[in-house]
A and B are shown apart, each in its own frame.
Chain A
Amino acid sequence: MKRSSITSPSHSRRRLATRVLGITAGVMATALMATGCSGAGGSSSNTIKVAYEKFGNFTQLDDHLKAVKKTFEKANPGITIKLEPIAAQNDDYYTKLALMERAPATAPDVIYEDTFKVKADAAAGYLLPLDSYTKKWADWSKFYDNAKEAGVGIDGKTYGIPMGTDTRALWYNKDLFAKAGLPVPWQPKTWDDVLAAAKTVKSKLPGVVPLNVYSGKPQGEGSTMQGFEMLLYGTPKGTLYDASSKKWVSGSKNFTDSLGFIKDVYQGNLGPTPEQALDTNAATVVTGDWLPKSKLAIDLDGSWVSGSWLSTGSNPWPQWSKVMGVAAMPTQDGQAPGVNSMSGGWTLAVGSKTKNPQKAFDFIAQALNKKGSQSYDIAASQIAVRSDVATDPAYVNSNPTSKFFSSLVKDTHFRPATTDYSQISNQITVAMESVMTGQQSPKEAAAAYDTALAGIVGAKSITKK
């Protein structure tokens, strides 16, 4: 770094040199930051690349696809199935997928695609329309129509084949409830009932986390759906998006109230500490550690949670059905219909850059035929979307909670089906995080959300309620 002594005949030259050094260094620093890393290896038409998520306790899909690969390769000699599990939490998984899909060399042929991303990714040109393939697929008539709807793009074409759906509710630990003197079975009627039970747990059982509601940026869409929307859609006429006028709701009291609940939980010390909740691995810790070890009393979570506790799961817990109870999430003040739930689900889709779309679709068709759908729905605790699976006694009796979670379907809500929803979901996690950490009041955070919302969809697409 040392250049030379101070006494120099051509200092101006050096000054220039130093300036160039400065500019070069600045340029380099930024350029190094700007350049990413690129993956290698394109796929030939004989290789079907399958990209999917494998993270934390979620290993059931990995098991399922490995089994399908074996039978598919046997039935289709010459075709190689290349499984590419992506070990990342949801948000990072979406990012990784998008980056892979941008380049033909890395684009996967078969994609494990969240229903709420289907519309945005179809609009981005990442997915292949499947209508010509489903037309010739006899099994397609077995899928429920509302489930098919989840895989449709804004152009009306089908882009994803649904694997299963889900609902959300409160999981509670009966042992802890008994110790705290709370009634079992438990069915709260209002939000206040939920908070009251959490307060009782807090005072009677120190060291136990009373109530978990996912919140904040690190949980991504999980915070929005399992946390925020389970509240908002339980407020009187609460919604993010008015489907009839096709406008986004801004400045609503429902929004502030829902953030108020988050504040009560986190600032009222009824939840995990904010730093526990803001850990990327929070969901893994909740289902893998806190619930089985009776460290958490109430968990607002998905119907799939028990999947990791089955003997086929990553975290077998034989006593789970005795210890864990389930209760529907009540509406804010108990107003009709009294309970609230949200439904999502995942699909398998074909990448638009695939060189062998027929085989890619055949792989999906085999993964989601009656046998495939059924074994996956049982292993991953999914609510079946095929009529033949839903009525099969082997599926119905496989999980003691499946009847309860299926019963929530009649009061369930779906996320706004628009291409910009995923961006708006991000802004909700921002609002949640600033409330849970006490950086903003619910009102301030809601106002910040309204501003961000207007920036995303434009003032014309907003309605004040």
Chain B
Amino acid sequence: MSTLAPTPVGKNDDSAGTRRAGSGDGSSRGSRPGSGRARRLRTVGRTLPLVPSMVLLALFLLGPIISSFYGSFTNSSLTGATAQSSQFIGFSNYTKLFADPDFPKSVVLTLVFLFTSAVIGQNLVGLGLALLMRSAHKTVRAIVGTFVVAAWVLPEIVAAFAAYAFFNQTGTLNTMLAWFGIHGANWLYTFPLLSVILANIWRGTAFSMLVYAAAVQEVPPEITESAEVDGAGGFKRLIYITLPVIRRSISTNLMLTTLQTLSVFTLIFVMTGGGPGTNSSTLPILAYQEAFKFSQLGFGTAIATIMLLVGAIFSIVYIRALKPEVD
């Protein structure tokens, strides 16, 4: 399945960023005095090397999006007459979707999953680990780091099965609880959402930890020291010094973990299959179920398109909320 590797995103960001910045210069000509022609030449010169990556982006990213967008307005299916001649049916899929009681439930489950496992879980635990490890002993740091990162480097399907084996009724967790005479619950059945949330925190924390560990090192020691001289305690230093300095990393990390978590599929599919009933059917699971289990490609694509919009909304919110100020 898909894993969102951090490196290619960074790369795309750089190229796209420069490209956008270039055109930005061109459009703000009126407010800024400058020699138009030379600027235009420079802009073209800067844009040219980016053309291949722009073409690739359009081909492999924009293409599927347009196709998904169009597909969501058709009654395309995997079988039946509409499989060979699908028709444009306007907003039917969307009106059907909004009338479906499974949909609001799925949206709520997705948001709960998102906030608890990504925004709160992965980010807080990741930040906590990064801060603690800064002052920890070298061996402790190595051991903890290895354990945390191990969950992250596992292929998603392997991690999912490991989590399944852990939470299963006769799995590791209940076996360990039995040592203490506790009869564990049937986690995957009774608390399906909680189980997948914990599993996603376990799996995703390493990413946040690595991002924050790098960011925390950038906090200038002289500022921290002077705050300490002024009598600021550990908590105050965290609130007034560390967090403001690393806010940029926070926003980037929040956004990446949000988008990653929004598209988590394998983990939930393997652990609970979206069930029991629809009790852990987040939007990706629901989209899969409608498109591939119930053969309604168009309807499933409409759900995927909604996910795309949700992701876009989150990105915009993060960028607005954590907008860096002019210093």
Which chain A residues have a beta carbon within 8 Å of chain B's beta carbons? Answer: 1-3, 5-7, 10-35, 91, 94-95, 98-99, 102, 117, 120-121, 123-126, 216-218, 220, 273-275, 278, 280, 419-420, 422-423, 426, 433-434, 437, 439, 448, 455
**A217 and B81 in contact (CB under 8 A), knowing A6-B245, A16-B20, A95-B295?**
no
Q: Which of B61, B67, B211, B296 has the most CB of A within 10 A?
A: B61
In the complex formed, the residue of A with least CB distance to B320 is A19
| Cross-interface CB contact of B311 among A1, A26, A102, cutoff 8 Å | A26
Known A28-B61, A439-B277; 19 more pairs at CB < 8 Å: A1-B214, A5-B218, A10-B21, A13-B17, A13-B24, A16-B24, A17-B17, A24-B13, A29-B4, A29-B259, A29-B262, A30-B263, A98-B78, A98-B79, A123-B79, A123-B80, A422-B295, A423-B296, A439-B279
| Cross-interface CB contact of A434 among B9, B277, B323, cutoff 8 Å | B277
State in angstroms the CA–CA spacing of A18 and B14 once bound together.
Answer: 9
B260 within 8 A of A: yes
Instruction: Assess whether A32 is in contact with B276, with CB atoms less than 8 Å apart.
Output: no
Instruction: Assess whether B16 is in contact with A20, with CB atoms less than 8 Å apart.
Output: yes
| Cross-interface CB contact of B79 among A14, A27, A33, A117, cutoff 8 Å | A117
Instruction: Assess whether A120 is in contact with B9, with CB atoms less than 8 Å apart.
Output: no
Task: List residues of chain B with CB within 8 A of the CB of A95.
Answer: 78, 292-293, 295
Closest 8 CB pairs of A and B: A17-B17, A32-B2, A22-B315, A124-B83, A21-B13, A125-B84, A26-B311, A98-B78
Instruction: Assess whether B10 is in contact with A16, with CB atoms less than 8 Å apart.
Output: no
State in angstroms the CA–CA spacing of A3 and B62 once bound together.
Answer: 25
Determine chain A's interface SS by DSSP, over half rule: helix
Interface residues on B, range: 35 or more
State in angstroms the CA–CA spacing of A217 and B289 once bound together.
Answer: 10
Stretch at the interface among B34-42, B120-128, B247-255: B247-255
Which chain B residues have a beta carbon within 8 Å of chain A's beta carbons? Answer: 1-4, 6, 8-10, 12-14, 16-18, 20-21, 24, 57, 60-62, 64-65, 67-68, 77-84, 96, 101, 169, 186, 188-189, 211, 214-215, 218, 245, 248-249, 251-253, 255-256, 259-260, 262-263, 265, 273, 275-279, 284, 289, 292-296, 304, 307-308, 311-312, 314-316, 318-319, 323-324, 326-327
Task: List residues of chain B with CB within 8 A of the CB of A126.
Answer: 79, 83
In the complex formed, the residue of A with least CB distance to B249 is A2
| Cross-interface CB contact of B315 among A26, A102, A434, cutoff 8 Å | A26
State in angstroms the CA–CA spacing of A29 and B82 once bound together.
Answer: 29
State in angstroms the CA–CA spacing of A23 and B256 once bound together.
Answer: 11
Instruction: Assess whether B211 is in contact with A1, with CB atoms less than 8 Å apart.
Output: yes
State in angstroms the CA–CA spacing of A155 and B146 once bound together.
Answer: 63
